[in-house]
Amino acid sequence: MKKIKIEYKLFLLFGVAFIGMIFLAHKALSVSEENITSTRTLFENSTTIQSLQEHYIEPLNLLREMSLSLVMSPNESFRRSIEQELISSIAKLDERFLSLDPESQTAWQEYLRLLNQTRLYVSQGFEEGAFVNANTTERTRYYELLERLKALQSKEITQAKGNFAHIQERAKILKYEVILAVVILSILVFLLGYFLSRHIVSSILTLQEGLQDFFDYLERKIPRPKPISLQSRDELEEMSKLLNHNILKAARDIEQDILFVENAISVVTQLKSGHLSSRLETMAQAHELKLLKNVINDMIDNLESKIKEEIEKRSEQEKLLIQQSKLASMGEMIGNIAHQWRQPLSELGAILMNLQVKHHFKDLTEETFKAQVERTNEITAFMSHTISDFQNFFTPSKIKEPFSVRLACEKAIAIIEASLRYHNIILEFRERGDRIAYGYPNEYSQVVLNILSNAKDALISREISHPRIHIELINGKNYSVVKIEDNAGGIRAHPMEKIFEPYFTTKHSRQGTGIGLYMSKMIIEKNMDGIITVENTAEGARFKIKIR
């Protein structure tokens, strides 16, 4: 058995199983054919019995009733009608009795003769003779014919019973034959399959043990995998030889690759420490590891220059962002200064015009001149103070310090208040307590100013009929929350968080740079460990600034 190849072993097993299946199929077909034949015979018996009842006995009963009705009919009209039905029924029965045995045909002809005699008596007006004939001789022949037909039915029923009993007996015999054949073939296939599968499974288990040793070696559980020892002279023995060769080669390659990985880990560890002079020197066997070696060495060669290049790029980007933010703030500052100076400049113009008129009409007194000069000095001092306020506002805080959130908000409001009044925008500031926060006060005020400026631009560009900005300061247990809400119709961006990305703006390219909200988020969340969020309300947008 060991010298037979696996394919022949399996062919033998499947061959025996196939022959057994053919034999069982033949037996099953035989049983099926016999059952079909027997069932057909029973069906024919039942059909014959039904035919005798439907085509002979029942029409004969009807014929007998019509004969009696003919004898007892009250007038000629009824007799003619019955006579027509008799003729039709006699013709059908006469044709049907031709298919029965001669004895039944003779009995039918005898009864038909007597029936015709009754009809003759009726046609001749001899009712007494017709009545006597119908109730004596004709009736006797009728019952004899009926008994004959019932005898035929009984014969068919007896034959059907015999056929059914034969079918039952034959089915029992075939059942035992099939069971015996199944048992014998099952035992044969089981024994043959047991011995074949036992040999194959034994060989497979040996291969499995050898592979398990190799896997244990891969997991570093054993120092070296054991060679697979299999003496079966079939495909599994050839497989074991091939596996032994490949396992030995793989073990050598793995040991070499392990050395390479250890060297790579050492190089990476040195890279983490900032030493860029290390290189991978150990050779690897795997093609991928060879590629990795080249990639790592090339990466190390270019890493330092790329790091410097990336740092320079990031520095340039940060400088660009800061510069753009400064330019945007400068534009806002100039606009706000213009609104702050608009009224004082108008007043100065009026004073100079008044002085010119009085001087022209020789009505300028020294007291008037001194009073106007003093008023002019007050206005210029106010304008100078405004410039100082703006200058101090846009000066960045260098270090974190405690500051009043309320005062920081009021400082931002003071910068933009004149511009809001110019555009008829109502600003409401509601404070419920104050809090001393820790951070950069000027930067915080700039964040509030950025949000107020964006709200102002939205209200102006969308031409809101009753523009309004509402600021609410809430002092919580651990946080100070400032809510800034407008009625400009909300932020039209999806998702809404995109407004905090650099260079993203919903304004026209000439009106916005997309830097303000990005810098605001950096100031609050990165520099002051706070949170800034935005959401749309029923009327507009609501910003929340939360800091400790």
CATH number for the domain spanning 434: value is 3.30.565.10
pLDDT at 47 over 80: no
- pLDDT reported for residue 404: 94
Q: How many domains does the chain have?
A: 3
Give the list of residues 6+ apart from residue 321 with CB closer than 8 angstroms, or none: 502, 515, 518, 519
pLDDT at 288 over 70: no
Q: Under a CB-based contact definition with an 8 Å cutoff, are residues 517 and 450 in contact? A: yes
Q: Buried (b) or exposed (e) across 92-113, using 16+ Cβ within 10 A?
A: ebeeebeebeeebeebbeebbe
Are both 81 and 163 inside the same structural domain? yes
> How far is 159 from 42, CA to CA, in rounded Å?
9
pLDDT band at 272 (very low <50, low <70, confident <90, very high): low
According to DSSP H, which parts of 98-136 are helical?
102-123, 127-135
- Compute the C-alpha angle 282/288/289, nearest 5°: 20
pLDDT at 43 over 80: no
Are both 403 and 542 inside the same structural domain? yes
pLDDT band at 489 (very low <50, low <70, confident <90, very high): very high
Q: Find, among 189, 188, 193, 185, the residue nearest to 27 by Cα.
A: 185
Are both 476 and 489 inside the same structural domain? yes
Are both 31 and 98 inside the same structural domain? yes
pTM over 0.85: no
Are both 391 and 450 inside the same structural domain? no
Residue at which a domain ends, from 347, 380, 395: 395
Amino acid at 372: Q
pLDDT band at 95 (very low <50, low <70, confident <90, very high): confident
pLDDT at 458 over 50: yes
pLDDT, mean of residues 309-319? 65
pLDDT band at 395 (very low <50, low <70, confident <90, very high): low
Structure-token pair, residue 176: 């035992």
Are both 384 and 408 inside the same structural domain? no
Are both 447 and 352 inside the same structural domain? no
pLDDT at 340 over 80: no
Average pLDDT, the chain: 78
pLDDT, mean of residues 369-385? 77
pLDDT, mean of residues 202-219? 73
Structure-token pair, residue 134: 């119908």
Q: Under a CB-based contact definition with an 8 Å cutoff, are residues 489 and 425 in contact? A: no
Residue at which a domain ends, from 157, 174, 191: 174
Residue with the larger pLDDT of the pair 397 and 123? 123
- pLDDT reported for residue 147: 85
260 domain residue, yes or no = no
Structure-token pair, residue 287: 């093609």
> How far is 363 from 340, CA to CA, in rounded Å?
33
pLDDT, mean of residues 19-29? 72
Residue with the larger pLDDT of the pair 491 and 256? 491
pLDDT digits (tens, 9 = 90+) for 235-250: 767 777 777 777 777 6
> How far is 303 from 305, CA to CA, in rounded Å?
6
| Residues facing 308 on adjacent strands | none
The least confident of 111-120, 426-435, 482-491, 499-508 is 499-508
Q: Residue 451 is part of which domain span? A: 396-548
The least confident of 88-97, 101-110, 325-334, 425-434 is 325-334
- Compute the C-alpha angle 380/381/383, nearest 5°: 60
pLDDT at 405 over 90: yes
Are both 545 and 400 inside the same structural domain? yes
pLDDT at 354 over 80: no
81 domain residue, yes or no = yes
pLDDT at 383 over 90: no
CATH number for the domain harbouring residue 326:
1.10.287
Q: Under a CB-based contact definition with an 8 Å cutoff, are residues 427 and 449 in contact? A: no
- pLDDT reported for residue 61: 86
Q: Find, among 139, 138, 121, the residue nearest to 130 by Cα.
A: 121
pLDDT band at 509 (very low <50, low <70, confident <90, very high): very low
| Residues facing 547 on adjacent strands | 480
Are both 88 and 35 inside the same structural domain? yes
- pLDDT reported for residue 244: 75
Residue with the larger pLDDT of the pair 327 and 505? 505
Alpha carbon distances (Å) from 160 to 36, 163, 518? 15, 5, 101
